[in-house]
Amino acid sequence: MMHPDPNLMTSRRGLMLVLSSPSGAGKSTISRRLLAEDEALTMSVSATTRPARPGEIEGRDYYFVGQDRFAKMVAADEMLEHATVFGNSYGTPRQPVEEALAGGFDVLFDVDWQGTQQLRNSRLGDALVSVFILPPSIAELERRLRDRAQDSEEVVRRRMSKARDEISHWAEYDYVLVNADLDLCTKRVRAIIEVERLRRRRQSALVDFVGSLNREFDALQATERES
């Protein structure tokens, strides 16, 4: 009797991968690398009440909604997590994530520690894998923020002020990495993904596969009794 296709053992429910860090620690660059290299990984698209910026596309970068619509989505339990940041509301619509996980895709989230807690406490919390990215030093964090040349001095100071609070939640994450070397840190996140994909509870086809092995044992024993 032939074994079932061994590839069936990789059939699995997807995982929710959270990458969190203070701004400037490198999570956005790591996320872009992971998404470019891994077809089974997709980025969660948030809903937001802020206006679209030049070049942003509805459904790719964000779902742009009004404050009233956002509030109704929260009230109807259509959000896995949500928060208000600098006067604008952001949240993760539940349905697209559920559909991706059911299809065996992993969903990448760029949320802070509060969003991570909400995801962990949601109905999909068993699929969560959380990773916190630390900078090698505070001086290096500030240097990276300034080198980006994207933010005003006021915004840089505000991000640095917020960083201490964000870093204080490092112990709430499953994995914690120091991004002193971007290539090495990205490699380690990839390793985390691979290990988590192989966890027994995520491989939904294993039960059927082991059942087929037992049926082979039964058939073999029956043949031995007849001989």
Helix, strand, or coil here: 38?
coil
Which pLDDT score is estimated for 86?
78
- Does 1 map to a domain? no
> Nearest to residue 42, comparing CAs of 16, 71, 10?
16
Per-residue model confidence (pLDDT) at position 74 = 95
Residue 152 has what pLDDT? 82
In a domain, 95, yes or no: yes
Beta strands per DSSP E along 14-140? 16-20, 41-43, 46-48, 62-64, 79-85, 88-93, 106-109, 128-134
What is the domain count for the chain? Answer: 1
Q: What CATH number should be reported for the domain holding residue 173?
A: 3.40.50.300
Q: Is residue 146 part of a domain?
A: yes
Tens-level pLDDT at each residue, the chain (227 residues):
333 444 544 578 899 999 999 988 999 999 999 999 999 999 999 999 999 989 999 999 999 999 999 999 999 999 999 998 878 999 999 999 999 999 889 999 989 999 999 999 999 999 999 999 999 999 999 998 888 766 788 888 888 999 999 999 999 999 999 999 999 999 999 999 999 999 988 888 888 999 999 999 999 999 988 87
Residue 3 lies in a domain: no
Does residue 192 form part of some domain?
Answer: yes
Q: Is residue 24 part of a domain?
A: yes
Find the domain containing 176 and state its range.
Answer: 8-226
